[in-house]
Amino acid sequence: MNPRDLVDPELLPLLDHQPDIVLDAASLLGARTALPELFTGGQQPDLALASLVVHQAGQVPVRVFTPIGGPEDTKHPVLLHIHGGGMVMGTAAMMDVQHARLAAELGCVIASVEYRLAPENPFPAAIEDCYEALRWLHRHAAALAVDPTRIAVGGESAGGGLAASLALMARDRGEVPIVFQHLIYPMLDDRTALTVEPGPHAGHFVWTREKNRFGWRALLGNAAGGPDTSPYAAAARAADLSGLPPAFISVGALDLFIDEDIEYARRLITAGVPCELHVFPGAYHGFDSAPQVRSAMVARNRSRAALRRALHPG
């Protein structure tokens, strides 16, 4: 069967107009230039909704959006967001438009990490940058008008994978409590398309097997797909998922990450971790960016609702 025949018909126009970013060593610089433009489309964040201040968490830049309005002594819950880009591209700033809106809508602070990219900075650079931002956020909670007991982590694609690994690292190091992990089609397992082939209908669009191989090998070198990958690089490698914060996972049925995401959700549930899993039929990687498509709107609404419940319980 042609995989295109399985795509939700409402998502086909977005797929047809999606530029195919080539991802290899020769084209990486061009891909890094093209990806942020795809996200912003030249738009600027509405700073009437939320203020933006760029801080330094040690050597790690963190873009902090704080909702405007409300009592001056408000202590906001906070989402530490980690951007996507296959471990090799993307910027925190490419999510500015969405973050300004989301901070205002959810009444929360959003802090977005500018972590170092592979292959120039292989593992553990990215996850250690994310952890440094997490510690900084917790340590400076009062100055940032943040409630240090209501910190969530989240991201999309590679950012979702880093968020899952960050939840593991925070659990193991025991310095910062995390209340929620918000994982949108997370990149969790370096074995996918290296030593484990996904299902026949997965990974034909947007984020392909070839791109996935490049991303993991950039991060881990020749060790990618081998027996000794750290769970702080690929969360699916963790032997023990107990004691992690509740999770929300959303993924399309045609996404390359469908199998690893469902398996991670199953293992979280088995470990006693509350986990909400949503699988969208006919949806490929990044489908939720489609502006007026029903499945994309449902995905965004469920995602925001999960964040709202986690950040403002009761």
pLDDT digit string, tens, across residues 281-290: 999 999 999 9
Q: Look up residue 247 and give its two tokens.
A: 């999770």
Is the pLDDT at 22 greater than 90, yes or no?
no
Confidence category of residue 100, pLDDT binned at 50, 70, 90: very high
Q: In the chain, which ranges are continuous DSSP H helix?
A: 12-17, 28-40, 96-106, 125-139, 158-173, 209-220, 258-270, 294-311
Q: How much is the average pLDDT of 9-24?
A: 89
Percentages (nearest 5) of helix, strand, coil residues in the chain: 40, 20, 40
pLDDT for residue 71 is more than 80: no
Q: Is the dihedral of CA 280, 283, 284, 287 positive or negative?
A: negative
Total domains in the fold of the chain: 1
CA-closest candidate to residue 94, choices 78, 81, 106, 83: 83
- Domain boundaries, position 292: 3-39+46-311
Domain with residue 66: its CATH number is 3.40.50.1820
Say if CB 164 and CB 186 are below 8 A apart: yes
How does pLDDT run across 135-158, given as a tens digit for each residue? 999 999 999 999 999 999 999 999
Mean pLDDT, the chain, integer: 95
Q: Annotated active-site positions, please?
A: 157, 255, 285
- The answer to whether residues 91 and 117 touch, using CB atoms and an 8 Å cutoff, is no
Contact indicator for 122, 63 with CB cutoff of 8 Å: no
pLDDT tops 90 at residue 57: yes
